Structure formats: structure tokens, C-alpha cells
Amino acid sequence: MSDKKKEILDWVKVILAAVAISFILNNFVIVNAQVPTGSMENTVMTKDRVFANRLSYLFNDPQRGDIVVFPFPDDESVNYLKRIIGLPGDTVEIKDGKVYINNSKEPLKEDYLKEKPTGSYGPYKVPADSYFMMGDNRNISLDSRFWNHPFVKKEKILGKVVLRYYPSIKVLK
């Protein structure tokens, strides 16, 4: 085999390996998503690019406060990015912009909110194996409070957002 053919074959192998690795990562390990709206500001901004870990909930359940990617329950062709507020079995009620879980006297501590939220909603009883989602920019977020199907099933969660990589790198909690 000539040196030229061997070099071409080597390049083809590298390209095929890269395509295979990319396929496996994108379909089984990470979700690569772009933030379409300002509903999660200031945590992530419009047009930011994020990675979500598809393996986060393989052995653990989603937790309150996790930011996740999931198909929008009213149109599963569109992926949404929101924060988990209500867990399975919770009762979520919003009074004067403050979130109360299970009739607590104290509102949920939410130091990530962009501005003081307004409005009263609920109560919402979260079904088993489902989650109640809200955006961090509450006053403009179209979230579980407004959807026809207000809850996201665990198996529909595509991954937990762990990293913003564009326009700058930021580890998200």
C-alpha cells in the first residue's frame, strides 16, 4: 500500500472514530442545548449554550433546585430548561411570588431569582414520579404554572444542566 493511501486510510479511521464518539456522547452521555429565552436569567442567559448530564439520574433522583433539560410537556418537539421546584408528592403553592412547599410557614429559599417575583398560584399537587418546574426569571417564565400539562415525568428529563460553555465557561449548581 502506498504512503498516500495509508495516510488517507488513517484519516478516515480518525474521522469515523470521532463521529462514533460524538454519536455516543450526544445520545447517551450529554445533552447539548441552547437557551432560547430569558426565563432562566440570571443563572443562564438567552443564547447561552449548556451541557446537561444524561447520566445524573441513573442512580439518583432529581433534587429540588436542579436545573434540567426536558421536552416541553405541551409540545415535546421543543426542549425546555427549567429549575425543579416541586418533587413527587409535594404540594406547591405560590403566594405573593414566594414558593411554599407542603404548607410550610417559611417560603423556599431562592437566592438565584433575577428579581422579586409576583403573583399567587396553586396549590399544585405533584403526582408520583413527576416534577413541578419554574424559571429563575419568574415574572416572564412560562413554566409549570401556565402549561396545560403542568408536570414533567422523571423519564422525560433528558439531563441535569452542569455546565455553561458559551459565551464563557461556568459550572452550574
Which domain CATH number covers 13? 2.10.109.10
Q: In the chain, how many domains are there?
A: 1
CA distance 135 to 119: 14
Decide if 90 contacts 144 (C-beta within 8 A).
Answer: no
* Distance of alpha carbon 156 from the chain centroid: 11
**Alpha-carbon radius of gyration of the chain:** 20
CA distance 112 to 152: 22
Give 77's pLDDT tier (boundaries 50, 70, 90).
very high
Cα distances (Å, whole numbers) of residue 113 to 25, 40, 48, 99, 147: 32, 9, 18, 12, 21
If you search the block for the grid coordinates 498516500, which residue do you land on? 4
Give 3's pLDDT tier (boundaries 50, 70, 90).
confident
Each residue's pLDDT tens digit, 102-112:
999 999 999 99
pLDDT at position 17 is: 83
* Distance of alpha carbon 168 from the chain centroid: 18
Query: What is the residue range of 119's domain?
Result: 3-171
Q: Indicate the pTM of the whole model.
A: 0.87
Helices (H), the chain: 3-24
What nine digits make up the cell of 160?
A: 441535569
Cα torsion 152, 155, 158, 163: sign: positive
pLDDT at position 64 is: 98
Report which DSSP code applies to 25: I
pLDDT at position 131 is: 98
What residues are labeled active site?
Answer: 39, 82
Each residue's pLDDT tens digit, 101-159:
999 999 999 999 989 999 999 999 999 999 999 999 999 999 999 999 999 999 999 99
Q: Where are the beta strands (DSSP E) in the chain?
A: 30-34, 49-53, 67-71, 79-86, 91-95, 98-101, 121-125, 130-134, 151-153, 159-166, 170-171
Each residue's pLDDT tens digit, 9-62:
889 888 888 888 788 777 777 888 899 899 999 899 999 999 999 999 989 999
Short-list 160, 150, 155, 40, CA closest to 91: 150
pLDDT at position 16 is: 87
If you search the block for the grid coordinates 429549575, which residue do you land on? 83
